[in-house]
Amino acid sequence: MKVSGHHRITIKDVAAAAGVGVATVSRVLSGGSASPETRERVLAAAARLDYRPSALGRNLRQRRTGGIALLVPDITDTFYGRLTEGVLSCARSAGEPVMIGATGDDPELEAELIGTFLEQSVDRVIAVPCGDADTWTPALRAGLTVVFAHRRPPGRDDVPAVLSDDRLGVRTAVEYLAGLGHRRIAYLGGPGQGPRLRAFRDTLAALGITLDDELVVSARAARDSAYAAASGLFQHRPDLTAVLAGGNVLGEAAVLAARELDLRLPRDVSIVMFDDVPWAELCSPPLTVIAQPAQDIGYRAAELVMRESARRTRDTVLPTELLVRGSCGPRR
């Protein structure tokens, strides 16, 4: 067999080898109509030459890149790692390549990355968004199919989202804590947690507990910011008896800060954390958590974005589950 130096095999080569026109090769390879005999010849030639159609040519012709783009705040956070795994596994079964970007929960960076995607003519994106509704206008106007995962910018109801049931998750956790006798319950949140916060307030109200604004703090995405917020909370309000952490990074910070201040779990303070992670069981005491189906969120979002129907779909809300382990106890 003759192997030429560094010449990429194109559809022309296959056409020549099979003694047909390029159009026929294209048709056969994309399942169009052709006589069985011709099809046979083309397939044989393609196989013999080890032909791989160039996505470049196809994409340019069709004015779109296949594949899907994924935007997450922080790939270092295992929650987003699992979400990403879900997207990848769905994309893989469809043979679609995945482009990834980390926004660091910075709207400007997000906008920039969207720009990169536009430049690449990506036409499908899954995003855990951090910018406001307007950030997404250019992408939408350019005709992108977008699906939000995990959260959505307020006011962008024209884009479908795959979410976990934050409302019920928060409510379950707070009711559990209240059932243990806690009244001064803090919420330690991160960026873009409007819905959870609202659920927190609403649940408190429903239970007849007055909201204490000082017990609601919000950190930026980074680990040190989370630690600072948690530590500040404990020091500023030593009277609190329970905290609900809005994510695994925040939960980790809370445990660390509590330990640093010699607060014992669950004697001095009870902690419930959003997101079940492997180390929650290794912690001592093991952490009580609200499990979220991170991987499923990613998988569903990918399914959705690959369907043509994506543009007009209702949100998908996935259930959460309270896993009671050892980090909560009765009010001291």
134: Cβ–Cβ under 8 A, 6 or more apart, which residues?
A: none
Among 13, 77, 276, 303, indicate the residue that binds a second copy (CB under 8 A). Answer: 77
Strand order in the sheet with 288-291: 216-218, 185-189, 242-245, 270-274, 288-291, 321-323
Cβ closer to a second copy: 174 or 265? Answer: 265
Among 279, 306, 315, 321, indicate the residue that binds a second copy (CB under 8 A). Answer: 279
82: Cβ–Cβ under 8 A, 6 or more apart, which residues?
A: 294, 295, 298
Q: How far is the CB of 39 from a second copy (least distance, A)?
A: 21
Residue 197 belongs to what H/E stretch? helix 194-206
Tokens of 205: 């109200």
Residue 93 binding a second copy, by CB under 8 A? no
Cβ closer to a second copy: 208 or 278? Answer: 278
Q: How far is the CB of 83 from DNA (least distance, A)?
A: 31
Cβ closer to DNA: 13 or 275? Answer: 13
Q: How far is the CB of 306 from a second copy (least distance, A)?
A: 16
Cα 123 off chain centre by: 18
Q: How far is the CB of 122 from DNA (least distance, A)?
A: 14
Window contacting a second copy (CB under 8 A); options: 25-33, 73-81, 236-244, 315-323: 73-81
Backbone torsion region of residue 96, taken as left when φ is above 0, otherwise alpha when ψ lies between -120 and 50, otherwise beta: beta
**Range 312-332 burial, b when 16+ CB lie within 10 A, else e:** eeeebeeebeebeeebbbeee
Residue 118 binding a second copy, by CB under 8 A? yes
Tokens of 303: 């399914």
Cβ closer to a second copy: 97 or 232? Answer: 97
Among 228, 256, 318, 322, indicate the residue that binds a second copy (CB under 8 A). Answer: 256
Cβ closer to DNA: 46 or 263? Answer: 46
Q: How far is the CB of 35 from DNA (least distance, A)?
A: 4
Burial class (CB in 10 A: 0-12, 13-18, 19+), 28: buried
Q: How far is the CB of 226 from DNA (least distance, A)?
A: 42
Q: How far is the CB of 104 from a second copy (least distance, A)?
A: 9
Place of tokens 């009277």: 239
Cβ closer to a second copy: 35 or 89? Answer: 89
Radius of gyration of the chain (CA): 26
Separation of alpha carbons 194 and 166, rounded Å: 10
Cβ closer to DNA: 43 or 291? Answer: 43
Residue 159 binding a second copy, by CB under 8 A? no
120: Cβ–Cβ under 8 A, 6 or more apart, which residues?
A: 65, 69, 99
Cβ closer to a second copy: 198 or 267? Answer: 267
Among 29, 43, 49, 98, indicate the residue that binds a second copy (CB under 8 A). Answer: 98
- Which residues here bind a second copy, judged by CB under 8 A? 6, 8, 52-57, 59-60, 63, 65, 67, 74-78, 81-82, 84-85, 88-89, 92, 95, 97-102, 109, 113, 115-121, 142-143, 223, 252, 255-256, 259, 277-279, 281-284
